[in-house]
A and B are shown apart, each in its own frame.
Chain A
């Protein structure tokens, strides 16, 4: 039997197909079907002459799978290496163990990569790219969206390609490397450190909440005029609460709001519930300010 070798064009086919990784995402098995789609061409080459192996390969890859999209190619690279091994095992030999390891490695990698990917890519890198673009766009320049797209896509296209190739070359050794070193923990911690600092900036810059409450003290003032006659005059002193808060620390209300929301989220509140809450708080404040003139929030 001639050896079946994964070529560069096979890698490229996996690469381009991997971009459809969420096309049929669903509540039951998430990104399962696109994962199989990625290997459509390669599997025909590897298992085209063996119906039984092809069936098992199809069944392997319609299993539940879900991780952060940018980290799918690296997992596909490792599975590609394994599939190549299975295809090159003589037909009469049993490949059950290898086949099982394909699914094991998918399950073992998708959890950690979802964690890193969500915080590093969705949580840190994309907000940085998009807020740079949006800051430019807010000044009325069409360069904003272009800058945002360029920053994101250089990473989007390059990261996917290089991790796919790395995954294929490393194969199963990647899992042992990841397990023996604390590289996953390191990357995700680094991502969180960077992400949290960026989040601090975002909190200060893009959440807007002020209070219009003021403390008014009415009293009398003794005024001595040029003739030396002292008279009583009414005086009103108004202290805006917002000025007091700004004196303590600028943007303290947005910070409190984000922490309040985070607290509720930890208690199990969903995003939808929190959005309803925001509309609720805003409505109460708007009603009060319209009918009584007391501006709680603005």
Chain B
């Protein structure tokens, strides 16, 4: 019975954090760095939660929703990875849990796609009420979709903790799989960063990426100092956008 109680607590944490993505408020409890420690706390190992959460945060830092695209579900990745590590009695270490999470993110993403599709039906129900001017009826059609996000996070976590303990505590990853997943985990962040790069980059602006890279890689500058420098560069750059093309003409006339 203790198992079921534990599973319910895990489901509650995972569900509330997951709900934050689409359900409402967007306070970012859905980020691995937050959901990881919370799940760790719920299952009795805060430090493991912190470690896995931080690890997955770096992997999914750049995966954002752009337009109508659904990114991999970093929240489920973190809640399930931490839960699996916590109930495995040490069979899964933090590194392995991070890579397990990376793989699970894509599975959870499919659940979200399913809900996006189901919600079309609710949208059409709302249309019927809208046509007769029943605003209360139309808005009621939003309540069920709004709760689906909770269950999308909660149900997988419940199942894992309630029924998966034997599975994850007997897990033995062969050395090959270990090498494979660790390597993939290290490279995974590049996908999100590439996505951000394509989204923000224009040929004119590429130098700023180069500057940021060199400052960090060669000079060891941290994120916050570089961000402040970046803000300064941004302010200088937009001032230039308003500057008239006059100075060039002046120089030419002087040359003449």
Residues of A within 8 A of B (CB): 19-30, 32-34, 36-37, 40, 43-44, 51-52, 54-55, 57-59, 62, 66, 69-70, 114, 118-119, 122-124, 126-135, 137-138, 140-142, 144-145, 148-149, 152-153, 156, 182, 185-186, 189-209, 249-251, 254-255, 257-259, 261-262, 264-266, 271-272, 274-275, 278-279, 281-283, 285-287, 289-290, 297-298
Main secondary structure of the interface of B (DSSP, over half): helix
Q: A62-B130, A200-B215 are in contact. Are A156 and B27 (CB under 8 A)?
A: yes
Main secondary structure of the interface of A (DSSP, over half): helix
Task: Give A26's nearest chain B residue, CB to CB.
Answer: B119
Q: How many residues of B contact A (CB 8 A)?
A: 116
Is residue B156 within 8 Å, beta carbon to beta carbon, of the partner chain? no
- Assembled-state Cα–Cα distance A156/B31 (Å): 15
Pairwise interchain contact A140-B50, C-beta atoms closer than 8 A: yes
Pairwise interchain contact B64-A51, C-beta atoms closer than 8 A: no
Residues of chain B with a CB closer than 8 A to A204's CB: 212-213, 216-217
Is residue B155 within 8 Å, beta carbon to beta carbon, of the partner chain? no
Task: Give A264's nearest chain B residue, CB to CB.
Answer: B194
Interface string of B145-182 (1 = CB under 8 A from A): 11001000000000000000000000000011101110
Residues of chain B with a CB closer than 8 A to A59's CB: 130-131
Segment 17-66 of B: residues with Cβ below 8 Å from A: 21-29, 31-34, 36-38, 46-47, 50-51, 53-55, 57-58, 61-66
Residues of chain B with a CB closer than 8 A to A266's CB: 198
Residues of chain B with a CB closer than 8 A to A52's CB: 133
**Of A40, A199, A285, which one neighbours B193 at CB under 8 angstroms?**
A199
- Assembled-state Cα–Cα distance A58/B131 (Å): 7
Pairwise interchain contact B133-A51, C-beta atoms closer than 8 A: yes
Pairwise interchain contact A135-B223, C-beta atoms closer than 8 A: yes
Residues of chain A with a CB closer than 8 A to B123's CB: 24, 26, 28-29, 32-33, 62
Residues of chain A with a CB closer than 8 A to B227's CB: 128, 194, 197-198, 201
